[in-house]
Amino acid sequence: METTLMVLDKVNSSKDLKNLSIEELDILSGEIRELILKKVNTTGGHLGPNLGIVEATIALHYVFDTPEDKLVFDVSHQCYPHKILTGRKEGFTNPDKYQKYTGYTAPEESEYDLFKVGHTSTSVSLATGLAKARDLRGGKENVIALIGDGSLSGGEAFEGLDNAAALGSNIIVVVNDNDMSIAENQGGLYTNLKLLKDTNGQAECNFFKSLGFDYYYVDNGNDIESLISTFNKVKDSDHPVLVHIRTIKGKGCIAAETDKEHYHWIVPGELDNDYSPAVSQEESYESITTDYLLKKREQDNSIIAISPATPGVSGFTKEFREKMGNNYTDVGIAEQHAVAFASGLAKNGAKPVLAIMSSFIQRAYDQLSQDLALNNNPATILVFWGGITGADATHLTKYDIPLIANIPNIVYLAPVNKEEYLAMLDWATEQRNYSVVIRVPMCQMVSIGKKDTTDYSVLNKYHVAESGSEIAILGLGNFFRLGQKVKSLLKDKLGISATLINPRYITGIDKELLESLKANHRLVITLEDGVLEGGFGEKIASYYGASGMKVINFGASKEFTDRVPLEELYKRYHLTPELILEDIQNLL
């Protein structure tokens, strides 16, 4: 059932805004806010960022002539009001259509969306490209980049600003300053943003002016009239301008205004309950990580946990951060710095543990290679959420193995249960010889109930979990359990007692073991929870290439998938025990 809305019912594209009065625009902002609250509370999603940007989005579409004028979002998790105003309101008014549109900008949905984005700090660079292309063809449209204060800490944003300011023609950067990253902002820049806000934009020492921008400040960035007035001043500017607007994250929802970090992104139904930050009592890979770090810190002040502005990914709660005190650093959205910082820490005797999401470690490849691995400094990096997912195309987490495992020196480990993970974590932080990355399992935690006493300094020794013959199954990390199921099915259906192997090391080949398999196996299958291309299995196939051993690699294909259910992906990639059995049968 569609909701009836006094003003929004008249707005089917951004062009319809032009005929509205300020009063109607104010009503519209209330209507949009209600829709967002209702929808996000039903489906889950980004709440705070969208509530804060409602008025600015209305004002931008009111002043500028989108889509001829081009509006580029940063991260784009704040694009819900934009979608509502640009022909996609049914995705918010009609519960049956709640899932129709992605939570990010998507050119395939609308000509109002320029880019598919989901990682931070990119909008200014992308917009600078649009603007330069316009100049080459003699176009006149405005190009606007919207970027949050949190995203400014990312190096790509700085590179973009530095270049945009030197463009010499129209580009309008709107900095949406809500005084928050996902968690608190970190870094010297934020003292300047505070100074600018405290002085109503008048302070002489001004980061944006120092880069060469013509600077405008809007103190109430949730006031449509002020925004319209300022945007009108900069529209059709013949030089780079920057409009710094102060907004309230979570605006209009008391809970979200109060606990900005928690309500950045919520799960379905969260607003109906009294949210209380009770810690889950159930053990998880996150909880055993923070328990380990807190306990370690009691005996060893050189341990230090690091997060690049995403503490939630690794269960680094407020409570944990406070307890760690000086032994916790949030570097802001600055993955490159995070890795180099960890290398420097390790070089000077500290024991850094950087926790990062699989999709974001790819923002620091050169730092992994040059700042860390080339120097072989003993930092520990925990990659969370690595594996095939049904996520949005911008947050896929299946590429970390090719990314990390092909860099020399790095030891990339894939534990399969609680005890193995803790043993690896302990080894990684205590040894001084290698840069170690651990792919924290992304699955239900399994405990085997007895301490793992493996010496992980003996590199590249795979663990034979169960000996057998004919077929050997290499079940890497998350997919070790899939390997168990395949083994069991092989026994039931074909009467084959397969060998089951837990490789543990993603970055090396256990040649001795692989050689020994030749004696009484004719097929090796590899299972990896990630993309096949450049991954683990291909190395096994290459190793056996010149031998008679047959190899089948199972994993994901190299493709961007967009909100495809995990079950469907497993079917597509033959990642169920039954489909794997079929492939084996077809070969035998």
The answer to the question of residue 199 lying near its own copies (CB under 8 A) is no
In the complex, the smallest distance separating the C-beta of residue 159 from its own copies, rounded to whole angstroms, is: 4
* DSSP helix/strand/coil, 3: coil
| Other CB atoms within 10 A of residue 3 CB | 15
Return the ∠ at Cα 507 (arms to 503 and 509), rounded to 5°.
Answer: 60
The answer to the question of residue 535 lying near its own copies (CB under 8 A) is yes
| 437 within 8 A of 410, measured Cβ to Cβ | yes
DSSP 15: G
The answer to the question of residue 438 lying near its own copies (CB under 8 A) is no
The answer to the question of residue 371 lying near its own copies (CB under 8 A) is yes
In the complex, the smallest distance separating the C-beta of residue 284 from its own copies, rounded to whole angstroms, is: 28
Total interface residues for its own copies by CB under 8 A: 119
> Binders of its own copies among 238-267, rule CB under 8 A?
240
In the complex, the smallest distance separating the C-beta of residue 429 from its own copies, rounded to whole angstroms, is: 14
Stretch that binds its own copies, among 8-16, 85-93, 188-196, 464-472 (CB under 8 A): 188-196
> Binders of its own copies among 304-343, rule CB under 8 A?
304, 326-327, 329, 331-332, 334, 336-337, 340-343
In the complex, the smallest distance separating the C-beta of residue 103 from its own copies, rounded to whole angstroms, is: 15
In the complex, the smallest distance separating the C-beta of residue 379 from its own copies, rounded to whole angstroms, is: 9
The answer to the question of residue 412 lying near its own copies (CB under 8 A) is no
Out of 365, 461, 566, 573, the only residue in the binding site for its own copies (CB under 8 A) is 365
* DSSP helix/strand/coil, 345: helix
The answer to the question of residue 407 lying near its own copies (CB under 8 A) is yes
The answer to the question of residue 369 lying near its own copies (CB under 8 A) is yes
**For residues 12 and 547, which CB has a smaller minimum distance to its own copies in the complex?**
547
- Quick one: which of 562, 567, 559 has its CA closest to 532? 559
> Binders of its own copies among 462-521, rule CB under 8 A?
none
**What does the buried/exposed string (b/e) look like for 274-303 if buried means 16 or more CB atoms within 10 Å of the residue's CB?**
eeeeeeeeeeebbbbbbebbbebbeeeeeb
> Binders of its own copies among 77-136, rule CB under 8 A?
107, 114-119, 122, 125-136
Q: How does DSSP assign 30-78, residue by residue? A: HHHHHHHHHHHHHH-EE-HHHHHTHHHHHHHHHHS-TTTSEEEESS-TT
Stretch that binds its own copies, among 39-47, 93-101, 273-281, 403-411 (CB under 8 A): 403-411
- Quick one: which of 508, 363, 492 has its CA closest to 436? 508
DSSP 248: -
Question: CA–CA distance from 37 to each of 7, 53, 138, 258, 265 (Å)?
Answer: 18, 13, 43, 15, 12
The answer to the question of residue 209 lying near its own copies (CB under 8 A) is yes
Alpha helices, H only, 236-283? 254-258
What distance separates the 2 farthest-apart alpha carbons in the chain? 82
**For residues 1 and 136, which CB has a smaller minimum distance to its own copies in the complex?**
136
> Binders of its own copies among 138-177, rule CB under 8 A?
153-166
